[in-house]
Structures are given as structure tokens and as C-alpha cells.
Amino acid sequence: MQTFKNSSSGAIVLSIADRIVENRAYLSEIDGKIGDGDHGVNMAKGFSMAAERLKGQDSSLAGAFDLLGTLLMTEIGGSMGPLYGVMFTQFGESIESKDVIDAALFSRMLHAGLEAIQSIGSAKVGDKTLIDAFVPAVEAFDSATADGKSFAEALSALSDAAEKGRDSTINLIAKIGRASRLGDRSLGVLDAGATSCAIILTTLSIGIANRLQAA
């Protein structure tokens, strides 16, 4: 069975922050086509603040998640701060007392984050939101483990599904938020939330895959 250590894995969150900051202009460009155009700027602000506090620290993954989640909820504007904030906070709480994380615990962590988002938002798959990347990713991970795939293989399935979910939003009409006012005019554009969600999940998967050990 493959596992990874909670301790000293906070660097994974630094990698996620780097990827969000790298894509700041791209995320805002996408958002500007059907939304406020500030998604990348707001996300980069929150993730950069977390990165500054985590640099040089030997943080656990749980601790890094909690720090990031708190900053996103308190320091950035827009609708995404509370959503991603509560997601990362729940990620952290799900694993904070665990020394070693296996595929089953990682799945529980994913579900806790997803359920937290769904508890404060009404979006469903097909509404052109981050849910269109998140739900298929979690389902793919669970399906892979149920089929006897390794943790690493399940992480790969998660990444692939997150990216396919992101891409599916091109052909969806926005049902939630400012973009929903555009109706059919929201077709043909990626959803910024689904795009940032795919970045987060794929970078998280890569970071964990690089740390997996045979138990």
C-alpha cells in the first residue's frame, strides 16, 4: 500500500501557490470574458500571502492547508475566497491528526472539501463552475481505488478527470454567478473557477505522487 507523510509535506502547498501565481493573468483573462475579470488577481493575492508565510517553514500538509484556507477566507475578495477557503480548511482538518496518509484518507479529505463547498454554494455539475472539475476528479479517484488501482494510479485518474471537467465547461451555459446573466453568450469560454480548480488538483496530485512510499 502506498502512503505519504503528513509532516514536511507543506511544500506541496507552495507548489500549488506557484502554479496559481504563474497563471494569474490567464485566469483573469478567462474570467474577464464572462465574469469580473479578477479571478486570477484575487487568487494570486491569497496564495502569495500563504506562500510567504510558509517559505522556510517545515510545515505539515495539514498545517499548510489550514493556513491557506484561513487566508483565502479572510484576505481575498470575490466569491472564490470563501469557497476555496473552506475547502482547504476542511482538507487540513481531515488530516491534521494523522501522521501517514493513504488513499482512503485522501479520499475522505477530498470529500470533506467538496462537501464544504457544496454547503455554502448551490452549484451542481453542469452549472459551469469549479464543481465541474472537482466532482469528476473525486469520482475518478474513488473509482480507481475501488478497481484496485494504486494510490499513484488513482492520483493520475484524478488529474485527468479534473482537466476533462475543466474542458467540459467550454460547452456549458453558466447557471451561477455573474456569468449566468449572459445566457448563451457564456458558451465557448472556459470557466475560470473550474480552471483554477484543475490547476489545484493536478498540482496537488503531482506533489503527493512524488512523496509516495510503499507501506
Burial letters 104-133, b for 16+ CB under 10 A, else e: eebbebbebbbebbeeebebebebbbbbbb
Cell 480552471 belongs to which residue?
Answer: 195
The per-residue pLDDT for range 11-55, each reduced to its tens digit, is: 999 999 999 999 999 999 998 887 778 899 999 999 999 999 999
When pLDDT is averaged across residues 169-196 and rounded to a whole number, the result is 78
CA dist 135 and 158 (Å) reads 10
Q: Is 4 helix (H, G, I), strand (E, B) or coil?
A: strand
The per-residue pLDDT for range 167-179, each reduced to its tens digit, is: 999 998 877 766 5
Confidence of residue 184 (pLDDT cuts 50, 70, 90): low
195 within 8 A of 33, measured Cβ to Cβ: no
pLDDT of amino acid 177 = 67
Residue 93 CB contacts under 8 Å (≥ 6 apart), including other chains: 62, 66, 112
End-to-end CA distance of the chain: 5
The per-residue pLDDT for range 61-114, each reduced to its tens digit, is: 999 999 999 999 988 867 788 999 999 999 999 999 999 999 999 999 999 999
Confidence of residue 122 (pLDDT cuts 50, 70, 90): confident
CA dist 177 and 128 (Å) reads 10
Nearest CA among 58, 52, 45, 56 for reference residue 84: 45
Nearest CA among 110, 109, 81 for reference residue 96: 109
Give, in words, the CATH class of 2-214: mainly alpha
C-alpha to C-alpha distances, 178 to 4, 33, 146, 197, nearest whole angstrom = 40, 11, 38, 19
pLDDT of amino acid 173 = 80
